[in-house]
Chains A and B, each alone.
Chain A
Amino acid sequence: MPVNHDFDVIIIGGGITGAGTARDCAMRGLKVLLIERSDIATGATGRNHGLLHSGARYAVKDSESAEECIRENKILRRIAANCVEVTGGLFITLPEDADSGFGLDYQATFLEACNKAGIEARAISPREAIQMEPSVNPTLIGAVVVPDGSVDPFRLCSANVTDAVLHGAKVLVYTEFLDFIREGDTILGVKVRDSRTGETAEYRAPVTVNAAGIWGHGVAAKAGVKIGMYPAKGALLVFGHRVNNVVINRCRKSADGDILVPGDSVTVIGTTSTKVPFEECDHMEVTPDEVKLLLREGCALCPSLASTRILRAYAGVRPLVADDSDPTGRSISRGIVCLDHETRDGIKGFVSITGGKLMTYRLMAELATDAVCRKLGVNKTCTTAETPLPGSMDGRIESVSKRFEGKPSAGQKGAAGRQGDMVGKIRFDTDADKQLVCECENVTLAEIKYAVRELGVSNLEDLRRRTRVGMGTCQGTLCIRRAAKALAEALGKPEMAEKLAADYLDERWKGMRAVGWGDTLREMEFMQRVYKFEKPYSYDEV
């Protein structure tokens, strides 16, 4: 078994927390190894709502979180311009909210709390709100504008990984943490297995960081440490196009299905919150009751959702942590939890970073890296709040698009939107390169080749996360064979194409099944006709 001593720090988990920590550590000059059992952003990071919180949602109940959010919100707009969209957000008050004690009095409390936390919030009239966001429920009686936005979780995670690699980090995807190498109370490294080949290996470093999200519970257990994690499932529905251009929230106590976020070419309603057993975290399915609830609440924010096509449903698990000070484990913190297991549990060389949010990842990474540096005796300050991420050095799609000679094509604009200033690395050499593979999402052959070349892709799901291929209205029906062929060829394994496509369609099918009616059902019929599923599905199944 190969043993490797070359690292200062090993990070377990390639979600946003692990990616951000890898970047921060690498930028502070540490030799970093990041391991992820699947592809990057396949845990909660790939299955969340993508809201760039202003903090307003927490302002009344948890001013600390609110302040954290607005600080990070402002930082992300600077350093991750290509991953966030500054859409603005509305907190609306509906007549029925007034009946349940969340009327305009509450709005006043809310406004005051926002302003106290440093969140610019301003009440506007219902008419102004409708002007600002025409899709909003027109029966609203009040609205507050806040600096909410949306964030593309995958792009953010990928940009952090890319920058970590640029700073010398080694990233191993499809590499699963199995166990620790330990000597007495000291963690010396990790045993891992390549989940594609089954081969095992060992890596050593003086510090290991547990950034495995909800699975961090199990990782800590291997070190004999208990973190009281609380797996909270959240379900979401994706609508076929941008219904709203401004985030819409309800101005009341946080509840299920009360946020509508426009992200990339779609709109997403979410979310629910249910405690699930740890065993279920790997197999999330959205139930019919969740779909109903989300639709009902969504329509209260934006009535046209009642007739808008739903592309698919998905769910993720929040890595929430029970408060250490509460022995019953019932009091849940939404805050960041950074644990030095030496001071907490007497285990040396081991740090856990969890809790928090997607959009506070940078701060989480800073705290974790500070802890690592303390252990290593390294004295370097954090610079991630000032240093833009790759892809975000040159603003957004508008400025990036100007880099092309002549008028950019639809595929080039699509790529500029997704890859930001990295678009220069995409080579539109031949006519075939300029051709669209995925027409719904404007993905060219050139962008696919780039993703395979530079972004570490080994299957169509990986490719989807990096390019949006197959994420549009037809969910891959039209393009996935073309994409599979292009990918298989780029990987030098043309015989794999068939299997790549089949795996991809299986996964899409799952997400469509939960919302299989209306136009989505027609699409499923069409998909089935095109690909002749071996087992025809029956109507009762959907």
Chain B
Amino acid sequence: MQETNISAKNFEQCQKCSLCETVCPVMANNPKYAGPKRSGPDGERYRLKNGIFFEDSLKYCLNCKRCEVACPSGVRIADLIQQARIDYGRKAPKLRDMMLASTDQMGPLAGAFAPIVNFSLGLAPVKGLMHATIGVDKHRTLPKYSSETFVHWYKKHAEAAQDAYKKQISYFHGCYANYNYPQLGKDFVAVMNAFGIGVQLIPEERCCGVAKIANGMIAAATRDAKINIEAFLRSVKEGREVVTVSTTCTLTLIEEYPELLKVDNSEVRDHISLVEQYLYKGIASGELKPVWKDGFKARAAYHCPCHQERLGWGIFTTELLKMIPGMELIELESNCCGIAGTYGFKKENYKVSQAIGKPLFDNIAAVAPDYVACECETCKWQIEMSTGVPVKNPVSILAEALDLEKTAAANRK
């Protein structure tokens, strides 16, 4: 007799309990969106019958994965939706989507002209132009591109010193740390080095592909995924775990590669960790010895990004931050910020995106912290733009709170 019931992405395991609908941030704010149940498992049944049942409204899904966290039946709802968009939404991506999606190609281009690009992106007339011509919402502050990439800085200032460390890891920096916010990468290197760990880059590193997947550029995403996984495999074989700083990149590397791109990552997935998880485990086991600065004081509100909720690793971040003497950590109620990668940048999504984030913004305003602690770069854009409260990556907070020299001395022995 039947031992188990299984189906692609578990769509048939759906009991129709509708729990997922109660947590979907888009459904609550956009009447055009049919919600996770109908777009996911319900829709899948009818799409299998006839592709004509594919609904355009699937594009409103943020891929925040909150539905998957809530589902008691293990249905990979958001994956079903992304897969359907890949399989049935055959329309060619717009130029705008391609620009927003190619974070690795736009990065180098924009980076070379960063001061000009940043300057012109900030001016009202140009913003208006983008709204009209390529559909990037004019209310958006676009992510700034930095003039010196992280990789460039690393080669100049850090690379030479790394081999001296006994322990080594491979750092998957992601596009954001490289092009938009190299300080995050610099903080990462500083913290790792203080703990006696050498940081190696992955020469073949490609964009994780999340934005390409969201915007339907599947072939390109798959090509990059294969290159990344092969590079990770070499690193792991040489004894270096892969450490990341971006929740979304990590979820993509671990979950979306096999599920959506059909790229097998089974040999490396257990060797990929987020920096917070990596450090927490090291410190908790006594292997890494932090020495904290005297007199550090901060009041931080922790916002758990959706993809961190899905990974289930938020606890590592909060426990790590709570170790810092002088840190008052307030955990914000779980709520999507509304940006979801490139989603909130699109003109048609701006209003919904802001409505989704509103409870979070209100909550942050009520708590009035010194800053928000959050691992995700796109949440950072959204929260800073919408609340004016600065957002810091936990790694950067550690870099501030640790006495780096004393920590280095403690870990040298």
| A positions within 8 Å CB-CB of B | 240-242, 264-265, 292, 295, 306-310, 397-398, 401, 407, 410, 413-414, 417, 436, 439-440, 442, 472-474, 477-478, 517-519, 522-523, 526
With A306-B2, A307-B5 as known contacts, state yes or no: A398 contacts B52, CB within 8 Å. Answer: yes
Contact A401/B52 with A307-B4, A473-B16, A519-B5 known, Cβ cut-off 8 Å: yes
**B1 in contact (CB, < 8 A):** yes
Are B34 and A410 in contact, with the CB atoms below 8 A?
yes
Inside 8 A of A522's CB, which chain B residues have their CB? 15, 73
| Chain B interfacial residues counted at CB < 8 A | 32
A-B contacts besides A295-B2, A440-B16, 11 pairs, CB < 8 Å:
A240-B7, A240-B45, A307-B2, A307-B4, A401-B52, A478-B18, A517-B1, A517-B2, A518-B2, A518-B4, A519-B73
A-side contacts of B73, CB under 8 Å: 519, 522
- Asked if A265 and B49 sit within 8 Å, CB to CB, the answer is yes
List 20 interface pairs A-B (beta carbons < 8 Å), by A numbering: A240-B7, A240-B45, A241-B12, A241-B48, A265-B49, A307-B2, A307-B5, A307-B6, A308-B12, A309-B5, A309-B7, A309-B12, A397-B52, A407-B56, A410-B53, A440-B42, A474-B16, A477-B16, A517-B2, A522-B15
Contacts of B110 in A (CB 8 A): none
With A240-B12, A519-B12, A523-B15 already in contact, the answer to whether A473 and B2 are too (CB < 8 A) is: no
In Å, the complex CA distance between A264 and B48 comes to 10
B224 at the interface (CB under 8 A from A): no
In this complex, what residue of A is CB-closest to B48?
A242
B86 interfacial by beta-carbon distance below 8 Å: no
Determine if A472 and B45 form an interchain contact, defined as CB atoms under 8 angstroms apart.
yes
Tell me if B386 is interfacial: C-beta within 8 Å of chain A.
no
Chain B min CB distance to A336 (Å): 32
A525 to chain B, nearest CB (A): 9
A residues less than 8 Å from B49 (CB atoms): 242, 264-265
On B, residues with C-beta under 8 Å from A are 1-7, 11-18, 34, 37-38, 41-46, 48-50, 52-53, 55-56, 73
A295-B1, A306-B2, A410-B53 are known contacts. Are A439 and B46 too (CB-CB below 8 A)? no
Q: How far is the CA of A519 from the CA of B6 in the complex (A)?
A: 9
- Bound CA span A519–B12, Å: 8
Residues of chain A with a CB closer than 8 A to B4's CB: 307, 518
Residues in chain A near residue B50, CB distance under 8 A: 397, 417
Alpha-carbon gap, A339 to B52, bound state (A): 46
A442 touches B46 (CB 8 A): yes
In the complex, the answer to whether A518 meets B42 with C-beta atoms within 8 Å is no
Complex: A410 Cα to B50 Cα, angstroms: 12
**Which one of B12, B34, B53 lies within 8 Å of A473 (CB-CB)?**
B12
> Are A440 and B52 touching (Cβ within 8 A)?
no
Nearest chain B CB to A255's CB is how many angstroms away?
20
Complex interface: chain A residues within 8 A of B18 (CB): 478
Contacts of A310 in B (CB 8 A): 2
Q: For residue B186, give the distance in angstroms from its CB to the closest CB of chain A.
A: 49
| B contact residues around A442 at 8 Å (CB) | 46, 53
Report the Cα distance A281→B52, complex, angstroms: 40
- Residues in B with CB closer than 8 Å to A307 are 2-7
On whether A292 and B1 interact (CB within 8 A), knowing A265-B45, A265-B46, the answer reads yes
Residue ID in chain B nearest A410 by CB atoms: B55
**How far, in Å, is A108 (CB) from chain B's closest CB?**
35
Bound complex: CA A417 to CA B43 (Å) = 15
Query: Chain B nearest CB: distance from A444 CB in Å?
Result: 13
Contact pick for A439, options B17, B37, B44, CB 8 Å: B37
Q: Chain B's nearest CB lies how many Å from the CB of A418? A: 12
Chain A neighbourhood of B16, CB < 8 A: 439-440, 473-474, 477-478, 523, 526
Residue of A nearest to B43 (CB): A410
What residue of chain B has the Cβ atom nearest to residue A398's Cβ? B52
